[in-house]
Structure 1
Amino acid sequence: MPASATLRFSHIRRTLDFRFDAGTSRGVLKTRDVYWIKAFDPQNPSVMGWGEAAPLVKLSIDHREDFEELLVKILDALSGMSFVLEEPEILEEVKMLVPPELPSIRFGLETALLDLAGGGKKRLFPNPFFDRQAGISINGLIWMGDREFMLEQIEQKLAEGFDCIKMKIGAIDFQQEIALLQYIRSRFSKEQIVLRVDANGAFTPQEARGKLERLAALDIHSIEQPIRAGQWKEMNILCKSTPLPIALDEELIGVEEKKALLDSIRPQHIILKPTLLGGILETQEWVRLAEERGIGWWMTSALESNIGLNAISQLASALDTRIPQGLGTGKLYHNNLASPLEIKAGKIFYNPEIGWEEPV
């Protein structure tokens, strides 16, 4: 691609159908709307860059009834503009053109422009995941549901060779959840299987410490968002005295004062979801600030299609992550976009021998 070009933009909406009722702290999901953004140069229309804007229901700050209408308005306004097709300029330009209250649109535009700059080959920037087909370790996610459904998932993930399991808790009786975790621990030590839990803010500040102590007895690696977001003082107190590491997740959404949050709470880890946090540039800044403070991090997809999952995987790879990431959502849907992304033995891979389905 030339160093700069006058571009046009359009989008395609697809409603993705879950393979099962996906239980979350915000209810059960059966379908999921995603918006694929296309960027192209009218002088060379056969080369296209694709990105994904996919606000998550009841969680993304840009999940709103008029989202598609707003997306069309922004893409129409950007069509006819000239863009410098180099990574630093793309990221800064998108930050300037799209307000922070539209994080998923920022992410989708960044990805589409970076893909176009690379010739429309779904490679966003240098990274071992794409360039050398280096696998990224990921956690096997256990969805909320009744005991039998969760136990079935645990057995499946163990059989598939995952050595890091993440279980969502807070949906059923806490004692039943403890029993499921005890079941895994009775079979595998912490050296064999890393266990993470995600409470999605289910605990009150008053009960959190006692529940964390019970979890810590099972050699849990970490807990995500034990109490609901926005309680900085209470979360700081909990992080100071916690018997197991705490990772902030929902706490980061919509926060522009990154330094203030990290310095006020001082968590052990943070969870990075580019779709919710404002894309690649914002995620890079969170990583830099966390590493300066000795705070751990890992990246997680937020139920995107394979276009978004590919982008997040490449970003995680480019940032030289060494621990399991939360990148295993590609198999959730009946009608996901066919792609080179494969999950084998607890890792996600990019297999260049498999082509991409054309978005329609």
Structure 2
Amino acid sequence: MIEPFSLPLASSLDTAAGAITDREGFLLRTRDGLGEATPLPDWTESREACRDALETADAALPDWRAALDACEGRPAARHAVSLAHLDAASRVEQEPLYQFLGENSRVESVPVNATVGDSSVEETVHAARDAAAAGFDCVKVKVGARNVEDDVERLRAVRDAIGRDVELRADANAAWSADEANYAFDALDGIVSYVEQPLARDDLDGHAALREHDVGVALDETLTEHGVREVLAAEAADAVVLKPMALGGVDRARDAATTAREAGVVAVVTTTVDAVVARTAAVHLAASLPGVPACGLATAGLLDADLAPDPAPVESGEITVPQDPGNLPVEVRP
């Protein structure tokens, strides 16, 4: 069964790629599992293409292989199908999803970063200082919507405000030119640990060249263009930022994380501001990766409403990992 939903954000999330004001998607209910497809323009297929793929997949069930095949090239739709399958299978095994994915020990929580959107220096500093006071050990600041000199000023002001004990990351959403990125990487040495997606998603050589600086390069959008193996072969990243919804499922995101970590590249799990079903699955994914760094999972507060109560609250920079069998221990009503 396919159920559409629409969730407003608590406030517009401004990024270099534009403002996000709401999240629309679909739930896929199977006999024993629940999946979520929440497409995002420029990241996944369109909402219409997603629904078409889900309808084909739903008609193919309970043949999971045929259902997954029906969603090839439609990452959000495939995410829903693969998650419903994993949810059902982990319930059969009476394991929380993260243990079903491969983590044998009990994991109570996962570190998460706070995300600060584009705003003035004063507003950015205020938000970052509040995050640090709330116990976050890592803050990510959105950049790229204004000129690079202003963004450098914002990040330097944040570093001064939160001190040296809090990790600071920047996310440019592919907004910078090579010249802007080189300027920023020089200016931000000692200020940020890494810059996420500084250049266009297809620019592997440019990202590889940026690694000559002391600031790290983290790739996000590029993974939907090239895939993790091409990124590793090009030596284009110090870290990869994995969004299960954009990569086609928790299973594929975990494979990408394992591949990256084996190559000595950091794997960070985040979301595309998803609803509770997909967001909780991303928490399980992070929990299945021993020693995972701060991940971008503290996004429930960005939504003004959700599909069910949040089973993975954030406290002092840590997100709780549900321990019930399957993905979600709470009922999601139609």
TM-score normalized with structure 2 length: 0.88
Q: What code does the residue aligned with 2:317 have?
A: G
Deviations 1:257-285 (A, max 9, x none): x4333212432111111111121232233
Q: What code does the residue aligned with 1:143 have?
A: G
Q: 1:154 aligns with which of 110, 120, 128?
A: 128
Q: Secondary structure of 1:72's partner?
A: helix
Q: Does 1:305 align with 2:278?
A: no
Q: 2:223 aligns with which of 252, 273, 280?
A: 252
Q: Does 1:340 align with 2:331?
A: no
Q: 1:330 to 1:21 in 2, by over 3 A?
A: same
Deviations 1:169-209 (A, max 9, x none): 1123433333332233224443x100011111111112321
Match in the other structure for 2:38? 54
CA distance in 1, matches of 2:34, 2:178: 43
Match in the other structure for 1:35? 26
Return the offset for 1:150: 2.7
Q: Does 1:315 align with 2:285?
A: yes
Deviations 1:211-249 (A, max 9, x none): 11101142x11111111111222222222x122110111
Q: What code does the residue aligned with 2:21 have?
A: K
Return the offset for 1:297: 1.5
Unaligned runs of 5+ in 1: 1-9, 41-47, 84-92
Q: Does 1:204 align with 2:177?
A: yes
Match in the other structure for 1:4? none
Deviations 1:6-58 (A, max 9, x none): xxxx1211101100111122211211102111110xxxxxxx41111111122
Q: How does 1:123-202 map to 2 (within 5 A)?
A: 123-126=96-99, 132=106, 134-190=108-164, 192-202=165-175
Q: Secondary structure of 1:20's partner?
A: strand
Q: Secondary structure of 2:30's partner?
A: strand
CA distance in 2, matches of 1:302, 1:173: 25
The 8 Å contact of residues 170 and 202 in structure 1, kept in 2 or not, is answered as yes
Q: 1:156 to 1:130 in 2, by over 3 A?
A: farther
The 8 Å contact of residues 114 and 124 in structure 1, kept in 2 or not, is answered as yes
CA distance in 2, matches of 1:11, 1:26: 29
Return the offset for 1:111: 1.2
Deviations 1:49-91 (A, max 9, x none): 111111112222x125443233223212x23x345xxxxxxxx
Q: What code does the residue aligned with 1:232 have?
A: L
CA distance in 2, matches of 1:342, 1:129: 21
Give me the identity figure in percent: 23
* Aligned-residue CA RMSD (Å): 2.7
Unaligned runs of 5+ in 2: none
Q: 2:46 aligns with which of 63, 72, 77?
A: 63
The 8 Å contact of residues 19 and 334 in structure 1, kept in 2 or not, is answered as yes
Task: Name the stretch that deviates more: 162-171 or 229-238.
Answer: 229-238
Q: 1:225 to 1:348 in 2, by over 3 A?
A: same
The 8 Å contact of residues 133 and 350 in structure 1, kept in 2 or not, is answered as yes
Q: Secondary structure of 1:253's partner?
A: helix
Match in the other structure for 2:188? 215
Q: 1:23 to 1:254 in 2, by over 3 A?
A: same
CA distance in 2, matches of 1:310, 1:246: 27
Return the offset for 1:134: 0.9
Match in the other structure for 2:5? 14
CA distance in 2, matches of 1:242, 1:325: 24
Task: Name the stretch that deviates more: 243-252 or 145-154.
Answer: 145-154
Match in the other structure for 1:270? 240
Q: 1:355 to 1:95 in 2, by over 3 A?
A: closer
The 8 Å contact of residues 11 and 37 in structure 1, kept in 2 or not, is answered as yes
Q: 1:108 aligns with which of 80, 88, 102?
A: 80
Q: 1:82 to 1:169 in 2, by over 3 A?
A: closer
Q: 1:163 to 1:201 in 2, by over 3 A?
A: same
Task: Name the stretch that deviates more: 305-314 or 24-33.
Answer: 24-33
Match in the other structure for 1:283? 253
Match in the other structure for 1:88? none
Q: Secondary structure of 2:29's partner?
A: strand
Structure 1 or 2, whichever has the larger Rg, is: 1
Deviations 1:270-320 (A, max 9, x none): 111111112123223322322232212111111111110111111111121
Q: Secondary structure of 2:99's partner?
A: coil
Q: 1:72 aligns with which of 55, 63, 79?
A: 55
